[in-house]
Amino acid sequence: MYSLKDKVTQKLSHLFANSSNTQDSPYSQEGKPLSSYLSYIIPSISSDGSKTSKHQDNHKPNKSAYNYENFEYQDVPFDNYVDCSPSCNSRDLLKDEIINEDQGSRKSSSSSEVFEEVNEQETPNTSKKSQLNLSDDSAFISPELYEFFESCLPNIVKGRQWVLLYSSLKHGISLRTLIRKSAELSGPGLLIVGDRQGAVFGGLLDCPLKPTAKRKYQGTNQSFVFTTIYGQPRLFRPTGANRYYYMCLNDLLGVGGGGNFALCLDEDLLTGTSGPCDTFGNKCLAHSPEFELKNVELWGFTHASPIHS
């Protein structure tokens, strides 16, 4: 089978046969046959259909004849593009280090949080109870209430050992016993009581308590009253309206004044009353103005060893 080149050459040679034999023919020069020019102009086509040129057959590369048809262009996605310049490399490396460190810190923090949660679930009571600096167990003081008191107490007693001076569960139901036990320490004393409905309330008084024959107020502006009937502990400090901080008699202990006692305990420590007063600007500290006492405690503060009685 003739190649395409041979066919084309044969036809053109036949067409210009007369002219090719003439020296002045434009299709011949210096006696060279037309086929030589055609072979130079027309690239040879192999039997498999691939094109080759004379220069390629002679293994002489020609830059201007670069075959773009056989060049496959691969589009590189922009997201996968990496700039290999020194500045970009250092920036990318720094970014990768920051990401790795952040992921590592997240893993470590998450693992530590899980560890802490497991420890809290295993020993919640032990960890919280060890934070309470109390000489004895209390019927009212929870870890949350303890932290609340520590933030409200005068600086002179913060961080000191809490000493149970009186408890109606331990020392009997008697106001006189409470007054007598208050003399074991001097300084601020925290009175804590509760009603049958679960409210916890009381106030800070100066100890020792000194009963007077007549109704006479005592104390300083360090005094305050508090209650938990609002869900969270709430404190009421002196408003400056008067100096009716507390009153101590042999048969009565009243805190605040001007309108009502903020808190008043009878001599049997079985019942009490509470109402709004001008001294602290409070409302009723209990669930009702008249209530039955669940328990009564008086706490003092000392640097020394706990007092056992």
Chain segment 102-151, per-residue pLDDT in tens:
555 554 444 445 444 434 444 444 444 447 899 999 999 999 999 999 99
pLDDT of residue 116: 47
Confidence of residue 221 (pLDDT cuts 50, 70, 90): very high
Domain parsing of the chain, residue ranges: 4-65, 80-122, 133-302
Per-residue pLDDT reduced to its tens digit, 143-202:
999 999 999 999 999 989 999 999 999 999 999 999 999 999 999 999 999 999 999 999
* Residue 20 predicted with pLDDT over 50: no
Query: Per residue in 292-304, pLDDT tens?
Result: 999 999 999 997 5
At a CB cut-off of 8 Å and minimum separation 6, what does 298 contact? 164, 165, 166, 167, 178, 181, 182, 189, 190, 191, 192, 207
pLDDT in tens, 53-79: 444 444 444 444 444 444 343 444 444
CB within 8 A of 110, min separation 6: which ones?
none
pLDDT of 101 above 90 = no
Q: What is the mean pLDDT of residues 285-292?
A: 97
Handedness of CA 104, 106, 112, 118 (dihedral sign): negative
| Mean per-residue pLDDT of the chain | 75
Nearest of 271, 274, 298, 269 to residue 286 by alpha carbon: 274
- Band of pLDDT at residue 45, cut at 50, 70 and 90: very low
What is the pLDDT confidence band of residue 3, given thresholds at 50, 70 and 90?
A: low
Return the minimum-mean-pLDDT range out of 49-53, 137-141, 232-236. 49-53
Q: Count Cβ neighbours within 10 Å for each residue of 115-152 and write b for 16 or more, e otherwise.
A: eeeeeeeeeeeeeeeeebeebeebebbeeebbebbbee
pLDDT of residue 100: 55
CB-CB contact of 17 with 34 (8 Å): no
Task: Say if residue 97's pLDDT is above 90.
Answer: no
Is a pLDDT exceeding 50 seen at residue 258?
yes
